[in-house]
């Protein structure tokens, strides 16, 4: 098979996103990749959409990258920043903090937001990015004016992400691009093959020996870092979520196992004045399953200034 990355350009696939979502596409969007040094020799990368001051910050989930928001960004048509979490996408591996620690990630994301979107009207965080955004709002409150959580709460009744964990803990390398794509299709039966292929192109690399690997290594930090691997305990974040002083909106996918009725009840107990919205026919990654509905929700929650 021809190397799918031989002609890969991360900015050349937006027309596919638009076509699949039924969005008009008259011209290529203005998007650039930037990065910020968050520690000596370590940078966090982000996609900056548009030419004006960014109005929104989008933070993806574990094992994803900033391109998970492409269709949402196209639908919004607003200046925004989509961040690659540390150890994801084009961001460097964290070698100076706990692996997958939301607090450390929040501090890193704060450097990016402070540089490119200090006056953003809202932060949108999904899954691990949502946990990170909760701590961004409490540790760096000057950067968060509204918070939209995409299918994530600190949780109340055990681990409900076993399917996601099974996917992310799969083989470290794959013999071919087709093999890594086939595994992705297997675990995402409701998504189109074309959208999954785009996602894998954005989220994989071909190694010198010809095999393929994910850009991330969730749960498996680089062997030379010596970092301790421990899945974060999100339940400790309930108190943090409760004390956020700005409006918080929870968007829940109707088909997602990650946020259930017990989680919603606890969210409402902790945040009685905030809303919960159910996005019909969406799983955990609402931005992939129902991007137009999520874009509309973001626009309603944080309209342009």
pLDDT surpassing 70 at residue 160: no
Q: Per the structure block, which two tokens stand in for 276?
A: 């919960």
The verdict on whether 151 is a catalytic residue reads: yes
Contacts of 40-44 with C-beta under 8 Å, sequence gap 24+, read 41/92, 42/86, 42/92, 42/93, 42/94, 42/95, 42/96, 43/91, 43/92, 44/83, 44/84, 44/85, 44/86, 44/91, 44/92, 44/108, 44/109, 44/111, 44/112
The verdict on whether 202 is a catalytic residue reads: no
Using pLDDT thresholds of 50, 70 and 90, give the confidence band for residue 192. confident
Q: Could you tell me if 27 and 7 are in contact, meaning their C-beta atoms sit under 8 angstroms apart?
A: no
Residue 1 pLDDT: 43
Give the integer Cα–Cα distance in Å for 251 and 10. 28
Q: Per the structure block, which two tokens stand in for 131?
A: 């946990």
- In the set 84, 92, 108, 151, the catalytic residue is 151
The pTM for the full model equals 0.92
Residue 94 pLDDT: 83
Residue 156 pLDDT: 74
Residue 6 pLDDT: 62
Using pLDDT thresholds of 50, 70 and 90, give the confidence band for residue 101. confident
292 or 223, higher pLDDT: 292
Using pLDDT thresholds of 50, 70 and 90, give the confidence band for residue 187. confident
- In the set 104, 284, 285, 289, the catalytic residue is 284
- Residues 108-136: what's their mean pLDDT? 97
Using pLDDT thresholds of 50, 70 and 90, give the confidence band for residue 142. very high
pLDDT tens per residue, range 50-66: 999 999 999 999 999 99
- In the set 127, 204, 256, 285, the catalytic residue is 127
Q: Per the structure block, which two tokens stand in for 118?
A: 């200090």
The superfamily CATH assigns to domain 14-160+231-301 is Alpha/Beta hydrolase fold, catalytic domain (3.40.50.1820)
Token pair 């965080």 in the structure block, residue: 125
Residue 305 pLDDT: 81
Residue 137 pLDDT: 98
pLDDT tens per residue, range 258-280: 999 999 999 999 999 999 999 99
The verdict on whether 284 is a catalytic residue reads: yes
Per-residue DSSP letter, 304:
-
Q: Could you tell me if 45 and 65 are in contact, meaning their C-beta atoms sit under 8 angstroms apart?
A: no
Domain ranges of the chain: 14-160+231-301
pLDDT surpassing 80 at residue 250: yes
Residue 253 β-bridge partners:
279
pLDDT tens per residue, range 234-244: 888 999 999 99
pLDDT surpassing 60 at residue 199: yes
């Amino acid at each position: 098979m021809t190397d799918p990355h031989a002609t890969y350009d991360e900015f050349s696939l937006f027309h596919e996103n638009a076509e699949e979502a039924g969005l008009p596409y008259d011209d290529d969007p203005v998007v650039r990749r930037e990065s910020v040094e968050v520690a000596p020799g370590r940078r966090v990368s982000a996609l900056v959409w548009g030419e004006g001051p960014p109005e929104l910050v989008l933070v993806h989930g574990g094992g994803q990258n900033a391109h998970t928001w492409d269709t949402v960004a196209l639908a919004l048509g607003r200046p925004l920043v989509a961040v690659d979490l540390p150890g994801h996408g084009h961001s460097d591996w964290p070698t100076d903090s706990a692996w997958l620690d939301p607090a450390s990630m929040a501090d890193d994301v704060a450097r990016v937001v402070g540089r490119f979107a200090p006056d953003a009207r809202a932060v949108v965080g999904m899954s691990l990015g949502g946990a990170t955004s909760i701590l961004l709002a409490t540790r760096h409150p000057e950067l968060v004016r509204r918070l939209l959580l995409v299918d994530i709460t600190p949780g109340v009744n055990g681990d409900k992400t076993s399917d996601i964990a099974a996917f992310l803990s799969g083989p470290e390398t794959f013999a071919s691009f087709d093999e890594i794509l086939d595994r992705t299709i297997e675990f995402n039966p409701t998504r189109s093959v074309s959208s999954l292929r785009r996602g894998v192109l954005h989220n994989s690399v071909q190694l010198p020996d010809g095999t393929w690997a994910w850009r991330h290594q969730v749960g498996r930090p680089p062997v030379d870092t010596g970092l301790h691997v421990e899945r974060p305990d999100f339940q400790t974040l309930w108190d943090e979520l409760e004390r956020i002083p700005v409006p918080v909106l929870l968007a829940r996918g109707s088909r997602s196992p990650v946020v259930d009725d017990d989680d919603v009840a606890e969210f409402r107990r902790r945040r009685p004045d905030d809303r919960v919205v159910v996005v019909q026919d969406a799983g955990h990654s609402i931005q992939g399953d129902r991007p137009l509905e999520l874009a509309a929700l973001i626009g309603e929650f944080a309209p342009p200034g």
